[in-house]
């Protein structure tokens, strides 16, 4: 299977991975054949891309760092808590703690797996899915940095709730497709303080967790907000979440720009390191990212074409590739582990148009 942009879907393609809404409902089951009406509905929901079955590359076994069910339940928890607070109901801190604990347990059990499988999110679900992704990325970073179990859970809770202050921001401003006015940006910049004020009322939450909401937009060089803190004056949990927040935001389609690729996002993080972001936190997060995620179609320096079927944590730029076409365009099928073959390397990733031409 491979991931394909919704605008390039065609009637008759088969869904390879189920698509869920933020409340846990299955929008399309795996195995469903797409019709024009299904494709139109996906576009209406703001879903950018889905996984489809592919006759050239066949089926792949994806190992995600957390199970679909865990991710969906976490998104539902964030969504319900945001909605409850908007209606002036209390935060369900027990549900938040259970959710983070479940994510921590799975990440600790899957420490050898690089983050590879991109989630599929509808536009309206952005804040909820983003909060969960930031939580996962932050916890993985904390594990890499040697955090103990208590620290990991505190970090995870702060990360999951880092954007809770956005419930006090006008949705028209949050989702504005064009440039913000000076006044609108001033309003957006208030969400860290709003979040801190909300969370500090819950004594069962660590003060360190609540400060993540307050400080996640502070910047290493002091150019952040709301207090222009610098360097190590910023809570380390917040410095980790700042990196995770930027990375996940870069990967998402937003009203004002299309998503960046993984390589583009990693390069942007590296350029921001030591200026806006803590270099140690950037390095620790990048150590958990698959440069060539499972399902990426690549061309090797041998001229062969294949699909990434697994990653190597110790050698993230040298994945395991299932070769399906040789340099003459003939069908073949064998796997190469690039971590064990120093003379063979990936020279490019193929875009959707290039992949489609392979089947001609």
What is the CATH classification number for the domain harbouring 7? 3.90.105.10
How much is the pLDDT for 291?
Answer: 87
332 within some domain: yes
Q: Can you spell out the DSSP letters for 163-228?
A: TGGGGGS-HHHHT-SSPPPHHHHHHHTTHHHHHHHHHTT-TTS-HHHHHHHHHTT--TTS--SSS-
Mean pLDDT highest for which of 31-45, 113-127, 273-287, 320-334?
273-287
How much is the pLDDT for 248?
Answer: 92
How much is the pLDDT for 117?
Answer: 53
% of the chain with per-residue pLDDT over 90 = 57
Domain of 16 in residue numbering reads as 2-52
% of the chain with per-residue pLDDT over 70 = 94
Q: Which of the four pLDDT bands, split at 50, 70 and 90, describes residue 286? A: very high
pLDDT in tens, 2-23: 778 888 899 999 998 888 776 6
219 and 195 in a common domain: yes
How much is the pLDDT for 162?
Answer: 97
46 and 81 in a common domain: no
206 and 129 in a common domain: yes
For residue 176, pLDDT beyond 50: yes
251 and 133 in a common domain: yes
223 and 92 in a common domain: yes
60 within some domain: no
For residue 305, pLDDT beyond 80: yes
291 within some domain: no
For residue 62, pLDDT beyond 50: yes
61 within some domain: no
Q: Which of the four pLDDT bands, split at 50, 70 and 90, describes residue 29? A: confident
What value does the mean pLDDT take over residues 198-224? 97
**Residue 114, φ and ψ in degrees, nearest 5:** -80, 150
116 and 38 in a common domain: no
344 and 221 in a common domain: no
Query: Per DSSP, what are the bridge partners of residue 140?
Result: none
Pure H helices in the chain:
36-44, 68-86, 93-109, 126-144, 149-160, 171-174, 182-188, 191-199, 207-215, 236-251, 262-272, 279-286, 352-358
Q: Which of the four pLDDT bands, split at 50, 70 and 90, describes residue 123? A: very low
117: left (phi over 0), alpha (psi -120 to 50) or beta: beta
What value does the mean pLDDT take over residues 40-54? 83
For residue 151, pLDDT beyond 80: yes
Q: How far is it, in rounded angstroms, from Cα 81 to Cα 85?
A: 6
58 within some domain: no
Query: pTM for this one?
Result: 0.88
317 and 257 in a common domain: no
118 within some domain: yes
93 and 46 in a common domain: no
103 within some domain: yes
What value does the mean pLDDT take over residues 291-318? 89
Q: How far is it, in rounded angstroms, from Cα 156 to Cα 29?
A: 30
From 286, 312, 337, give the residue that closes a domain: 286
179 and 204 in a common domain: yes
Total tally of structural domains belonging to the chain: 3
13 and 39 in a common domain: yes
What value does the mean pLDDT take over residues 292-320? 89
270 and 325 in a common domain: no
Q: How far is it, in rounded angstroms, from Cα 215 to Cα 115?
A: 25
Out of 83-92, 119-128, 272-281, which region has the weakest mean confidence (pLDDT)?
A: 119-128
320 within some domain: yes
Which residues 6+ apart lie within 8 Å of 104 measured at CB?
139, 149, 152, 153, 156
Residue 265, domain CATH: 1.10.3210.10
How much is the pLDDT for 64?
Answer: 77
């Amino acid at each position: 299977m491979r991931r394909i942009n919704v605008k390039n879907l065609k009637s008759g393609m088969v869904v390879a991975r189920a698509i869920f809404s933020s409340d846990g409902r299955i929008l399309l089951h795996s195995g469903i054949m797409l019709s024009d009406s299904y494709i139109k509905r996906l576009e209406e929901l703001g879903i950018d891309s889905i996984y489809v079955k592919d006759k050239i590359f066949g089926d792949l076994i994806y190992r995600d760092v957390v199970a679909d069910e865990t991710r969906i339940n976490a998104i539902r928890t964030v969504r319900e808590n945001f909605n409850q607070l908007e209606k002036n109901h209390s935060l369900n801190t027990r549900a938040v703690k259970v959710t983070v604990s479940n994510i921590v347990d799975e990440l600790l059990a899957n420490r050898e797996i690089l983050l590879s499988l991109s989630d599929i999110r509808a536009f309206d679900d952005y804040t909820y899915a983003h909060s969960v992704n930031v939580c996962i990325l932050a916890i993985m970073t904390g594990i890499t940095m040697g955090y103990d179990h208590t620290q990991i859970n505190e970090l995870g809770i702060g990360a999951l709730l880092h954007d809770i202050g956005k419930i006090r921001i006008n949705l028209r401003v949050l989702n504005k497709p064009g440039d913000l006015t000076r006044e609108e940006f001033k309003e957006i910049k208030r969400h860290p303080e709003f979040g801190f004020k909300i969370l500090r009322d819950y004594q069962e939450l660590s003060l360190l967790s609540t400060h993540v909401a307050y400080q996640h937009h502070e910047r290493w060089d002091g150019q952040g907000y709301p207090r222009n803190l610098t360097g190590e004056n910023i809570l380390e949990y917040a410095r980790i979440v700042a990196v995770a927040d930027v990375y996940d935001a870069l990967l998402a389609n937003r009203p004002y720009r299309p998503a960046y690729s993984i390589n583009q996002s990693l390069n942007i993080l590296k350029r921001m390191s030591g200026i806006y972001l803590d270099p140690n936190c950037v390095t620790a997060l990048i150590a958990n990212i698959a440069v060539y995620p499972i399902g990426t179609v690549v061309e090797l320096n041998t001229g062969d074409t294949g699909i990434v079927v697994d990653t190597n944590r110790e050698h993230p730029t040298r994945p395991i590739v299932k070769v399906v076409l040789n340099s003459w365009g003939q069908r073949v099928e064998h796997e190469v582990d690039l971590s064990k073959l120093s003379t063979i390397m990936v020279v490019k990733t193929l875009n959707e148009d290039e992949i489609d031409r392979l089947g001609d």
